Amino acid sequence: MHYPHMEEFLMNNRLARAWFAGVVGLALVGAASVAQAQTATTIKGRVVSEAGAPLPGTSVFIDAIKAGAQTNEDGQYTITVAGRNRGPAILTARRIGYKRAQSNVNLNGQTITVDFTLQAQAVQLTGMMVTALSVQREKATIGTSQQALDNTSLTQTRQDNLVNALSGKASGISIQGSGNIGGSSRIVIRGAGSITGNNQPLFIVDGVPISNAGFSTASAGGGRDYGNGISDVNPDDIASITVLKGPNAAALYGSRASNGAIVITTKSGRSAAEGVTVQYRSYATIDEFSVLPKYQNQYGQGFAGEFQFVDGAGGGVNDGADESWGPKLDGRLIDQFNGKQLPWVAHPNNVKDFFQTGHTISNSVNVTANGSKSAARMSLTKDNTQGIVPNASLARLAGVVSATAALTDKINVSGSLQVVQNQGFNRPINGYDEGNPFMGFTWFGRQVDTKALKARYYQDDGSLFNWNYNYHNNPYWTAFDNSEVDTRDRVISQASVTYQVQPWLKGMLRGGEDFYRFARDEHFAKGNIDHANASYNGAFTNSQTRAAEWNVEGLLTANQSYGKFDVTATLGGNIRRNNQFNNAYSTSGIVVEKIYNLANAAVTPTLSNSEFHWGVNSIYGSAVATYNRYATIEVTGRNDYSSTLPKENSSYFYPSINGSLVVSDMFPSITSNGWVSFLKVRGGYATVGADASPYQLKTTFTGSSSKFGGRTIFTLPDQAANAVLKPERTYGSEVGLEISLFDDRATIDATAYTKITRNQIFGLAMAGEIGYSSAVVNAGQMSNHGIEAQLNLKTLELKNGFTWRTTVNYTRNRNKVDELAPGLSTIVLARQWSTNIEARVGQPYGVIFGRVWQRDSVTGKRRTSGGLPLASSTLKVLGNVNPRWTGGVSNEFRYKNWTLSSLFDIRAGGQNFSIGNWWGDYAGILASTLKGREQDWNKPGIVVDGIDVDTGKPNTINVTAEDYHHNIYPVVEDAIYSTAFVKLREVRLGWDVPGTMLEGLHIKALNVALVGRNLHTWTKFPNYDPENASDSGNGGQGFDMGAIPTTRSIGINFTITP
Given 303, 458, 641, 991, the residue binding another protein (CB under 8 A): 641
Q: Pick from 110, 357, 604, 951 the residue near another protein by CB under 8 A.
A: 604
What is the nearest approach in angstroms of another protein to the Cβ of residue 425?
31
Name which of 620 and 678 has its Cβ closer to another protein.
620
Rounded alpha-carbon distances, angstroms, from residue 210 to 59, 202, 227, 455: 29, 8, 15, 46
Residue 428 DSSP class:
P
Q: Does 703 bind another protein (CB under 8 A)?
A: yes
In whole angstroms, the minimum distance from the beta carbon of 570 to another protein comes to: 12
Sign of the CA dihedral with 662 first, then 666, 667, and 671 last: positive
Write the DSSP symbol of residue 303: B
Question: Residues 34 to 63: which contact another protein by CB under 8 A?
Answer: none
Count of C-beta atoms within a 10 Å radius of residue 255: 22
Task: Show the binding pattern over residues 774-803: x = contacts another protein (CB under 8 A), - = does not.
Answer: -x----------------------------
Q: Examine residue 14 and tell whether it contacts another protein (CB under 8 A).
A: no
Nearer to another protein, 543 or 958 (CB): 543
- The least distance separating another protein from the CB of residue 550, rounded to whole angstroms, comes to 13
d(C-alpha 835, C-alpha 848), whole Å? 7
Residues near 329 by Cβ (< 8 Å), separated by ≥ 6?
297, 298, 299, 300, 344, 345, 346, 446, 447
Stretch binding another protein (CB under 8 A), from 32-40, 99-107, 612-620, 659-667 = 612-620
714-733 residues near another protein, rule: CB under 8 A: 714-716, 718, 720, 722
Contact 979, 912 (CB under 8 A): yes
Instruction: Give the residue, chosen from 196, 544, 600, 650, that forms a contact with another protein under the rule CB under 8 A.
Output: 650
Site for another protein in 994-1053 (CB under 8 A): none
Contacts of another protein in 265-294 (CB under 8 A): none
Residues whose CB falls within 8 Å of the CB of residue 720, separated by 6 or more in sequence, listed in order: 699, 766, 770, 771, 772, 774, 775, 776
Which of 33, 708, 938, 996 touches another protein (CB under 8 A)?
Answer: 708
- Enumerate residues 489-508 that contact another protein by CB under 8 A: 497, 499, 501, 507
Among 32, 342, 413, 509, binds another protein (CB under 8 A): 509
Least Cα distance to 882 among 186, 257, 214, 292 occurs for 186
Please identify which residue in 50, 311, 409, 611 interacts with another protein, judged by CB under 8 A. 611
Burial of residue 341, with CB atoms counted within 10 A of its CB: 0-12 exposed, 13-18 middle, 19 or more buried: exposed
- The minimum distance between CB 595 and another protein, in angstroms, equals 19
Under rule CB under 8 A, residue 768 binds another protein: yes
> In 3D, which of 604, 587, 608, 609 has the Cα closest to residue 709?
604
- The secondary structure of residue 119, as a DSSP letter, is P
Torsions phi, psi for 407 (to 5 deg): -70, -40
Buried b (16+ CB within 10 A) or exposed e, 285-313: bebbbbbbbebbbebbbbbebbbebeebe
Of residues 438-497, those binding another protein (CB under 8 A) = 497
Question: What type of residue sits at position 204?
Answer: I
Chosen residue from 1, 292, 378, 619 binding another protein by CB under 8 A = 619
Residue selected from 674, 823, 860, 1000 as contacting another protein according to rule CB under 8 A: 823
Task: Show the site string, 302-341: x = touches another protein by CB under 8 A, - = not.
Answer: ----------------------------------------
Write out the binding residues for another protein, residues 919-958 only, by CB under 8 A.
none
Of the pair 609, 935, the CB lying nearest another protein is at: 609
Q: Which residues within the stretch 375-414 sit at the binding site for another protein (CB under 8 A)?
A: 410-411
Cα distances (angstroms) measured from residue 994 to each of 6, 54, 279, 999? 62, 25, 17, 9
Q: Shortest distance, CB of residue 860 to another protein, whole angstroms?
A: 30
Stretch that binds another protein, among 212-220, 644-652, 847-855, 960-968 (CB under 8 A): 644-652
Stretch that binds another protein, among 456-464, 475-483, 609-617, 749-757 (CB under 8 A): 609-617
- Which residues does residue 543 pair with via DSSP β-bridges, in sequence order? 520, 584
Q: Which of 242, 275, 277 is nearest to 97 (CA)?
A: 242
Whole-number Å distance between alpha carbons of 810 and 1017: 19
Distance of closest approach, residue 605 Cβ to another protein, in angstroms? 11
Q: Which of 105, 420, 616, 944 binds another protein (CB under 8 A)?
A: 616
Beta strands 128-131 and 135-138, pairing class: antiparallel
CA distance 880 to 809: 23
First to last CA, the chain: 56
Task: Name which of 117 and 825 has its Cβ closer to another protein.
Answer: 825
Restricting to residues 523-582, name those near another protein by CB under 8 A.
Answer: 534-535, 552-556, 571-575
Q: Exactly one of 395, 491, 824, 957 binds another protein (CB under 8 A); which one?
A: 824
- Min CB(608)–another protein separation in Å: 9
- Assign 3-class secondary structure to 43-58: EEEEEEECCCCECCCC
Burial of 815 (0-12, 13-18, 19+ CB in 10 A): buried
What 3-state DSSP class applies to 59? Answer: strand
Q: Which is nearer to another protein, 35 or 1052 (CB)?
A: 35
Tell me the number of residues near another protein by CB under 8 A: 74
H or E element that contains 818: strand 803-819
Using the contact rule CB under 8 A, the part of the chain among 128-136, 209-217, 645-653, 988-996 near another protein is: 645-653
Q: Which stretch binds another protein (CB under 8 A): 150-158, 195-203, 713-721, 991-999?
A: 713-721
Quote the least distance from Cβ 702 to another protein, whole Å: 6
Interacting residues with another protein between 662 and 701 (CB under 8 A): 694-695, 697-701
> Residue 444 or residue 772: which is nearer to another protein going by CB?
772
Which of residues 563 and 823 has its CB atom nearest to another protein in the complex?
A: 823
Q: How far is CA 434 from CA 142, 478, 482, in A?
A: 53, 8, 11
Closer of 40 and 766 to another protein (Cβ): 766
Q: Which is nearer to another protein, 228 or 639 (CB)?
A: 639
Q: Which residues contact 273 (CB under 8 A, 6 or more apart)?
A: 49, 51, 52, 53, 370
Largest CA distance in the chain: 104
Q: Assess contact for 881 and 837: CB atoms under 8 A.
A: yes
